[in-house]
Structure 1
Amino acid sequence: MSTYDQIEIEDMTFHPESQLFTYPCPCGDRFEILIDDMFDGEDIAVCPSCSLMIDVIFEPEDLEDYYKQAGIAPPQPISA
Structure 2
Amino acid sequence: MVVFPDEVEVEDFQHDEDSETYFYPCPCGDTFTITKDQLMYGETIPAPSTNKELVKR
Higher RCO, Cα 8 Å, sep 6+: 1
Which residue of structure 1 aligns with residue 28 of structure 2? 27
TM-score (norm 2): 0.56
* Percent identity (aligned): 40
Matches within 5 A, 1:1-80: 3-41=4-42
Distance in 2 (alpha carbons) for counterparts of 1:3 and 1:19: 27
More helix per residue: 1 or 2? 1
How far did 1:8 drift?
Answer: 0.8
More strand per residue: 1 or 2? 1
Provide the aligned C-alpha RMSD in A: 2.4
TM-score (norm 1): 0.43
Q: Which has the larger radius of gyration?
A: 2
How far did 1:19 drift?
Answer: 1.4
Aligned residues: 42
Q: Runs of 5+ in structure 1 lacking a partner?
A: 43-75
Query: Runs of at least 4 residues of structure 1 off by over 4 A?
Result: none
